[in-house]
Amino acid sequence: MPPKPPISPVNPEWRTQVIAIGSGKGGVGKSTTTVNIAAALARQGYSVGLLDADVWGFSIPRMLGLSGQPKAADGLIQPPEVFGVKVISIGLFTNEDNPVVWRGPMLHKALQQFLEDVAWDDPDYLLVDLPPGTGDVSISIAQFLPGASMIVVTTPQAAAELVAQRAGFMAEKSGLRVSGVIENMSYFRGDDGKRYPIFGAGGGRSLADRLGVPLLAEIPLEPRLRELADQGSAMVVSEPGSESAQALEGAAKELVNLLPARPRPVPRISLPVGPG
Ligand SMILES: Nc1ncnc2c1ncn2[C@@H]1O[C@H](COP(=O)(O)OP(=O)(O)O)[C@@H](O)[C@H]1O
Ligand SMILES: [Mg+2]
């Protein structure tokens, strides 16, 4: 019998911490945050997978400068690796001019394949970039991976916070455990050193309080973050000293505190038996 894939609902040994990143609406920086946290976790020495499950609005391949279909080997899809992160996206299997219309059952099947038929190689963390809002994708993820956590990304203004809260409640109904909040675009630091709250203030904190979970980070608005994402790079890798990179590194550390990597099973060592 072929070995069971490590990430699988039928495999009792799977130990990967699965963290879905969700948001109420698009454009709040969910994918940017996901990519940088994944890269930060890899820099901290963890093995990391990134599943882009934003089937309609995938942006991870572009953000990581990836294109072309992954190869298969040993009956498994081999995920390309960027910044030490193994990545799979539906965007690697479709092209921009010919999008796939994903519907319930097919979507469910595709996500199952991306969990079970990819050589994730038993990572410490698997981050899942969800589509905005919640729905079929979250339900499927929760079904395949009971116990998966969700982090909600929001911007600071009250209106965004309410939409994010709805997404959080819906995620819990579909079986994901909301574990934390990340506030993005929290402020812009001017040349005068002052913080300018472009999108208001306090939304992340108040959302975290309402959901009863910790606020993991407040990430500033920094044009370089967008520029690097557009170039297929990541702030935490290219400019680790910047304020946003520090905040993203901090978010990754908080995440590890909250959801520590599970210990690896002790490998069974069989020593060769020599004569005498
Ligand atoms: N903190 C930030 N500072 C500057 N630009 C950001 C920041 N966060 C995200 N962006 C930019 O905003 C846009 C939307 O971010 P993205 O991560 O694609 O959002 P989502 O995945 O929530 O739709 C992208 O162009 C991204 O580069
Ligand atoms: Mg996105």
Residues 23-44 have pLDDT tens digits of 999 999 999 999 999 999 999 9
Q: What string of H, E and C letters represents the secondary structure of 222-269?
A: CHHHHHHHHCCCCHHHHCCCCHHHHHHHHHHHHHHHHCCCCCCCCCCC
pLDDT at 275: 65
Closest ligand (CA of 167):
1
Give the residue, out of 186, 226, 233, with the most ligand 1 atoms within 8 A of its beta carbon, to mutate for a pocket test. Answer: 226
Q: Is residue 205 part of a domain?
A: no
d(C-alpha 30, C-alpha 39), whole Å: 14
Tell the burial category of 92 from Cβ atoms under 10 Å away from its Cβ (0-12, 13-18, 19+): buried
* pLDDT band, residue 1 (cuts 50/70/90): very low
> Ligand 2 being an ion, which residues bring their Cβ within 5 A of it?
30-31, 59
- Average pLDDT, whole number, for the chain? 90
Q: Is residue 130 part of a domain?
A: yes
* pLDDT band, residue 15 (cuts 50/70/90): confident
Q: How far is the CA of 230 from the centre of ligand 1 (A)?
A: 10
Q: What is the pLDDT of residues 85-134, one digit of tens each?
A: 999 998 998 877 776 777 778 888 999 999 989 999 889 999 999 999 87
Q: Determine which helix (DSSP H) or strand (DSSP E) holds 150, and give its type and residue range.
A: strand 149-154
Q: Is residue 271 part of a domain?
A: no
Cβ atoms < 10 Å from Cβ of 153: 31
**Greatest Cα pair distance in the chain:** 77
Contact status, residue 140 vs residue 174, Cβ threshold 8 Å: no
d(C-alpha 89, C-alpha 186), whole Å: 28
Q: Compute the C-alpha angle 224/54/48, nearest 5°.
A: 70
Q: Is residue 219 part of a domain?
A: no
Closest ligand (CA of 32):
1
Q: Is residue 267 part of a domain?
A: no
Give the residue, out of 32, 55, 154, 195, with the most ligand 1 atoms within 8 A of its beta carbon, to mutate for a pocket test. Answer: 32
d(C-alpha 108, C-alpha 85), whole Å: 24
Q: What is the pLDDT of residues 136-149, one digit of tens each?
A: 888 888 888 888 99
Q: Is residue 172 part of a domain?
A: no
User: Which SS3 state, helix, strand or coil, does residue 60 take?
Assistant: helix
Mean of pLDDT values over 177-182: 95
Q: Is residue 217 part of a domain?
A: no
Count of structural domains within the chain:
1
Range of the domain at 125: 17-151+224-258
- Type of residue at 67: S
CATH number, domain containing residue 40: 3.40.50.300
- The closest residue, in CA terms, to atom 3 on ligand 1 is 221
Q: Is residue 274 part of a domain?
A: no
